[in-house]
Chain A
Amino acid sequence: MNIIEYLEPAALIILGSLAVSIIGIVFGLLFKGIDRKLSAHMQGRIGPPIIQPFRDVRKLFVKENIIPHTAIPWIFNLAPIMGLVATITILLYIPLGGFQPIASMGPFGDLILVLYLLIIPSLAMVIGGFASGSPYTIVGAQREMATMIAYEFPLAIVIIAIAYRLYLLGDPQLGSVFSLATIAENPVWSISGPFGYIGFGILLLVLVVVTPAELSKIPFDSPEAETEIAGGLLAEYSGRNLAMFYLTDGVKTFVMASLIVALFFPYNLSILLGLQGIPAITVDIIFFLVKVFLVVLFSVTLVRVAVARLKIDQIVSTYWIYLTLIGLIGLIFVIWDQYLSAMLFA
């Protein structure tokens, strides 16, 4: 083994980890603030300032970090930080700001890895809830597990559809069909026919409905129902531990929105405008943030303002029955796109 050859990607990963930590937290909290402001205006309120989430984190750091006597202290303290760290690592594998993912310098991680890593933050909350030793937190943790089991099915259908459409291209130069860099270079709308557009439109809708459940937002926030189980799995958390979970929520919002942009809207504006160098980078970053904002607006803000909370059995039926069927219809359109388009439009 040549240690020198291995040091360069290792150094880049360390610097990249620092960068995504800052990017994830800053933009996660910023989009959280924008979400709160917009939802307030939609409800006829003024709402807090956009920087309120930053103030909330600062306030939580000052508060006491109470550990209930029924809790298992080391798990209770470890769960929040593990959830936050795992969420931030996902950003290494997602194309951000129009650039290739930081981890794309080698075969370091693909979309399947992102799918697995997305489970960890929710699992950390579940473990934290069970470790709290309170009836409310245990009920919240059980609901979170049920929600996770429910939404993974339609999420997997979306991922498989995109990968399969790339696979159907049959291009040996394409690289792995699960690579996010490959998906970003071959947008699904550019490689599909009319039936593929319908299929991917349906799958985009499915992913938009999966997102609030991933983020435990209304109408899928049954695990954290404030009015029902007193905050659910976060009921016993306070102080800096709660701040860690708060940051996890913000970063995960940014992660999910970036993932949707990477899968369905990976386009760069600089190419259209014929820009190069620093202006191109600036325009691409701003365009990326606008796309992320629009995803957050339609998948989180609008939905949570418009509807009420669903019960856990309604959540299960929404994902396991309705969204799975809708997702499968979208997948069928994608699979048959080649044959149907050739038949009807040849």
Chain B
Amino acid sequence: MFSIITESGFWNPIIWVLSFIVIFLIMYILRSFGNNKFKKQGEKTKVFLSGNPEYASDDMHIKSSNLYWGFTKVLDWVYTVLKRMHNGDVRDYILWFVIIMGTLLLLGVML
């Protein structure tokens, strides 16, 4: 009942939700034993900046593009080639499209 069964796998979302609710209640009760108060005094509620001055939020903003710095650094050799290929000329893009379509058709015929 309510199980999603395919040839590759299976899952029952109702059972998972039921167990999630039960465990959530247990953990919520456990968490409630903790201290839920704090005195809003001094600089407690300020973010920790290792002693650096706090600037305006726009000046301290972390760009979301930082997320994929690791990937662009590692795959720099791929992106360098791709950036060179993306020269803004539509004719070159269509040429690549034709080359790849032709290659796929050839592979399709051969196989």
Contacts and interface: CB of A to CB of B under 8 A. Distances in A.
Nearest to B15: A108
Contacts of A108: 3, 10-12, 15-16
Nearest to B57: A70
Interface stretch (A14-22, A202-210, A257-265): A14-22
B87 interface: no
A163 B34 CA distance: 43
Contacts of B3: 106-108
Given A1-B1, A18-B26, A60-B34, A317 B12 contact: no
A6 B15 CA distance: 10
B60 interface: yes
A113 interface: yes
A321 B74 contact: yes
Given A16-B19, A108-B11, A66 B31 contact: no
Interface string B19-36: 110111011100101111
Contacts of B45: 66-69
A86 B20 CA distance: 7
Interface in B27-49: 27-28, 31, 33-39, 44-49
A86 B75 CA distance: 33
Given A134-B47, A135-B62, A112 B9 contact: yes
A139 B5 CA distance: 40
Contact of A88 (B8, B18, B23): B23
- From B1, B28, B49, B74, name the one whose CB has the most chain A CB atoms within 10 angstroms: B74
Contacts of B39: 64
B12 A17 contact: no
Nearest to B47: A134
Interface string A75-105: 0000001001110110010000000000100
A63 B35 contact: yes
Contacts of A10: 15, 18
B83 interface: no
A135 B10 CA distance: 41
Interface residues of B, number: 47
Contacts of B80: none
Contact of B31 (A139, A149, A236, A244): A244
B35 A313 contact: no
A5 B46 CA distance: 55
A138 B64 CA distance: 9
Interface SS of chain A? helix
A178 B10 CA distance: 8
B73 interface: yes
A37 B27 CA distance: 27
A176 interface: yes
A317 B26 CA distance: 40
B63 to A, nearest CB: 9
Interface string A312-333: 1101110011000000000000
A205 B54 CA distance: 45
Nearest to A62: B35
Given A66-B44, A85-B27, A315-B70, A230 B37 contact: no
A260 B101 CA distance: 43
Contacts of B44: 64, 66
Contact of B16 (A61, A65, A109): A109
Given A81-B27, A134-B49, A240-B34, 7 more contacts: A17-B23, A81-B24, A89-B20, A136-B47, A142-B64, A179-B10, A313-B73
Interface of A: 1, 5-6, 9-10, 13-14, 16-18, 20-21, 60-70, 81, 84-86, 88-89, 92, 103, 106-113, 132-139, 142-143, 145-146, 149-150, 176-179, 230, 235-236, 239-240, 243-244, 311-313, 315-317, 320-321
Interface of B: 1, 3, 5, 8-12, 15-16, 18-20, 22-24, 26-28, 31, 33-39, 44-50, 57, 60, 62, 64, 66-71, 73-75
9 contacts: A10-B15, A21-B27, A61-B35, A68-B46, A70-B47, A89-B20, A112-B11, A134-B49, A230-B48
